[in-house]
């Protein structure tokens, strides 16, 4: 069993890195919630083909 007093304390940099990872995970979860909501709202509606989207956004 390890002694808690001998465990290395986290550095400010390591804590900041963990916070960035957590923030990214939260953003990803929020994006998934938004996507699911959009799919439910648009359920049954016809989609738009990729060629039309490219024309409308002037991607070609």
Instruction: State pLDDT tens for residues 2-59.
Output: 666 677 899 999 999 999 999 999 999 999 999 999 999 998 898 899 999 999 999 9
Task: Give me the phi and psi of 9, to 5 degrees please.
Answer: -80, 145
Tally of domains in the chain:
1
**What whole-number distance in Å separates Cα of residue 51 and Cα of residue 32?**
25
* Residue 29 resides in a domain: yes
* Residue 31 resides in a domain: yes
* Residue 50 resides in a domain: no
Q: What is the pTM of this model?
A: 0.61
* Residue 1 resides in a domain: no
* Residue 4 resides in a domain: no
Contact 60, 54 (CB under 8 A): yes
């Amino acid at each position: 069993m390890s002694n808690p007093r001998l465990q290395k304390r986290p550095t400010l940099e390591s804590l900041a890195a963990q916070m960035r990872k957590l923030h990214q995970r939260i953003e990803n979860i929020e994006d998934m919630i938004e996507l699911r909501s959009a799919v439910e709202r648009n359920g049954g509606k016809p989609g738009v083909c990729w060629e039309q989207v490219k024309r409308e956004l002037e991607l070609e």
